[in-house]
Structure 1
């Protein structure tokens, strides 16, 4: 989406156009941020500041230590290269005093030019305000939104749970999923716009924005479907953030509710009619976590069904574009 916004703005020159991107297909993308970054340590009121001695702070310090000593790391560990030279973080470019200063307060991990800040709700709204995320009328958009089976009241998939083997292998995702589901949105400052929208749709919110600013609004009481989408998640990203950039009322989107999901019934796919360009086609991957489809290939039937369905979607796009070109020449 960033690339398409740059093309639309003529960043690379007027000879390049957003039509050069035929389709955008996403899997569990945090378009609108994720609350897990706050649970890990991002300051809920002063992002991109990081809370001292939080898990995120300790990870940042660990990266600084590793980067400082990188020239001494054996070549067999080259896959752990954090490219310290790009920020002059190793002992060859930075003094020991500078290194200690970075451990005290990092110019990197506590900056806006870092992934943790990029996935805050505040950063997502800044991107939307800048026009990033707007759809192009000749590009086809599709998002795949994973939700994990949970046995609590916030589950959006009937309480279906994963096997003990899956939980043993992917237990960090199950732990983070619980953390995301239980997150207290009322502590966030500035208040994300999507919370204002929820309050506005529920009569008990008593005054909309003011009630949210007071930290009184209970997310679980507002706007049913959207409220559940704040809690349902894939272990990393909440469901609503995986849909698409911007609120539904500010973009074009179609949310599909299949009796049988893509992962379970590859033969029953919604490609009988030509795909529609300029519209987000939102599909939920039920009972799936952040790593169910990519990047680990396990060859399961559900994983094969996903890629088979995606291939059918891309072929449908190619066919639709060929039809458009033929129609243009005939005209």
Structure 2
């Protein structure tokens, strides 16, 4: 059994990881009785953590935001600095920090008192980053709201603009946020269309509205990142290709982002790339500029186009000599 001090830390971590817990669930996670859970919750409250309790059937515990910061090794100005830094990292150019920053921001803003939230929002509103990362911008509040909804199994409603600019209202069950080098995607189950969909976050208009809680469904794939990559790099296009590239998967992945192709490693010096394009010509140019030797397996029309293009380029090169 976990010792009391360590157990309090684990209880706090559990309350921060999800919006709502029943007493039975917490007792099972901590390997203690529900009575001990109630005592530990009272200890957290005595330390300043705003733990709310709802009695009866369907009741449970929830960590709320207080009038003051709970005991943390952070002063007010430090907490504001951390929150602003996390907002910047969530949409910034530093690879690998984006998803962790959104999760951390969601946890921190959950317990920030209102006076500090206002400071964070004010700083975000007047701050400008010099330079352009080359991709679309995102609202950190919207990202945090989506992260919370994924974590807490809360339905979302939002207005969405498609690739063609068509506007629509969507009601979804959100499950995961996936980040590439320049874009965020929301993997969700579309309740109106009754199927899994991948939404580009920068095409979501305004801050999503939360609805009721839902019972999570099994995910459409064990590897969510690969599933989203397939959706945005291949399935979204009219023309799709499967190609063996004569280079290691690690090297090819440095040339292709998750939205340009899905990569399957083969031997140490080869890999399979699944990609797509709006036209066969665009696919041919995309593959040719990868800079590697490759073999096209499908579609047959692309193979014919590449042969014709190679002959044309060969004639052009011969005439220029």
How high is the TM-score relative to the length of structure 2? 0.26
The higher radius of gyration belongs to 2
Structure with the largest fraction of strand: 2
How high is the TM-score relative to the length of structure 1? 0.26
- The answer to which structure, 1 or 2, has the higher relative contact order (CA under 8 A, 6+ apart) is 1
